[in-house]
């Protein structure tokens, strides 16, 4: 199977699983890689999945060599690594995105990693269409508290630019 076919096959499997099973992907996964502040790779045996942390959006990392990316992108990626890298995780799936990534809430030791990123001020609530069935109430509360406390990226005040706007102006 080619790499081009894997995301399509995976998306079809997620649709099938979503129709007949609970929203949690079965079993524990090992977080094997942190791609950026809102994307990880998990593994279980020979199965590797890319998970886009749903409900939140972290500052954009640069995809170009020698460019730093959005302010706080490196801190966000490092914090996510501290929370999850090489740890056992449960993934609650909300389907797949257009790239074939699992849209998921990630839990390590019972803690919601997505929510922890927002609490730390290293991610905001995703401003696009929310995942169907995800309750963002505690995310909104966490974001407000992080803003009030000036945590992470919120220390930038009026100079803060959302990841969504950053992508529009920087081509990410």
Choose, from 33, 41, 52, 143, the residue flagged as catalytic. Answer: 52
**Contact at 8 Å (CB) between 80 and 118?**
no
Q: Can you read off the two tokens belonging to residue 60?
A: 């954009």
What is the distance between the alpha carbons of residues 120 and 142, in angstroms, rounded to a whole number?
Answer: 9
Q: How far does CA 87 lie from the centroid of its chain?
A: 16
What is the distance between the alpha carbons of residues 120 and 15, in angstroms, rounded to a whole number?
Answer: 33
Eight-state DSSP code of residue 38: T
164 catalytic, yes or no?
no
Rounded to 5°, the CA angle 163-169-172 comes to: 60
Choose, from 60, 105, 116, 124, the residue flagged as catalytic. Answer: 60
Choose, from 90, 101, 116, 124, the residue flagged as catalytic. Answer: 101
Query: Which residues pair with residue 93 across a beta bridge?
Result: 104
Cβ neighbours of residue 157 closer than 8 Å, sequence gap 6 or more: none
41 catalytic, yes or no?
no
101 catalytic, yes or no?
yes
Report the catalytic residues.
Answer: 52, 60, 101
């Amino acid at each position: 199977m080619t790499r081009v076919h894997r995301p399509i096959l995976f998306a079809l499997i997620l649709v099938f699983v979503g129709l007949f099973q609970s929203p949690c992907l079965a079993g524990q996964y090992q977080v094997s890689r942190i791609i950026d502040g809102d994307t990880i790779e998990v593994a279980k045996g020979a199965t590797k999945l890319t998970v886009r942390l749903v409900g939140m959006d972290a500052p954009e990392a640069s995809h170009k060599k020698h460019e730093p990316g959005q302010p706080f992108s490196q801190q966000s990626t490092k914090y996510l690594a501290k929370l999850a890298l090489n740890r056992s995780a449960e993934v609650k799936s909300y389907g797949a995105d257009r790239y074939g990534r699992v849209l998921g809430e990630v839990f390590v030791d019972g803690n919601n990693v997505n929510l922890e990123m927002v609490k730390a001020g290293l991610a905001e609530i995703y401003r696009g269409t929310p995942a169907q069935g995800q309750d963002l109430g505690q995310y909104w509360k966490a974001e407000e508290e992080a803003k009030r406390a000036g945590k992470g990226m919120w220390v930038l005040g009026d100079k803060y630019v959302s990841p969504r706007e950053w992508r529009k102006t920087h081509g990410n």
